[in-house]
Amino acid sequence: MTVALVSLNIPNLDNVRGNLNLPTSSNGVPVTWSSDQPNIISETGRVNRPANDDVVVTLTARVSFGGASGERSFFAVVRRAGT
């Protein structure tokens, strides 16, 4: 479980300008995603860039296997449109 969470990698989260490829599994363990701002980044990784300011979005990966579960948060900086 821990290995699956630690192995997750999403490149360029400090400079998001397009859709993200959020992994649906890690080390054979299914991963589900949630976003604290789904209007900016959806749980599938679709990005809607804000018009006025950069926005920090918290993405949370959840894994479950054999009755155990865990989660890990990632912080994405979505750059405003036009930059």
Compute the average pLDDT of residues 27-44. 97
Compute the average pLDDT of residues 32-56. 98
Q: Is residue 22 part of a domain?
A: yes
Determine the structural domain holding residue 74 and report its residue range.
Answer: 2-78
User: CA of 20: how far to CAs of 57, 62, 77, in Å?
Assistant: 12, 17, 12
Q: Return the percentage of the chain with pLDDT > 70, whole number.
A: 99
Number of domains observed in the structure of the chain = 1
Q: Is residue 83 part of a domain?
A: no
Compute the average pLDDT of residues 53-57. 98
Q: What is the pLDDT of residue 65?
A: 87
Q: Is residue 73 part of a domain?
A: yes
Q: Is residue 20 part of a domain?
A: yes
Q: What is the pLDDT of residue 33?
A: 98
Q: What is the pLDDT of residues 7-34, one digit of tens each?
A: 999 999 999 999 999 999 999 999 999 9
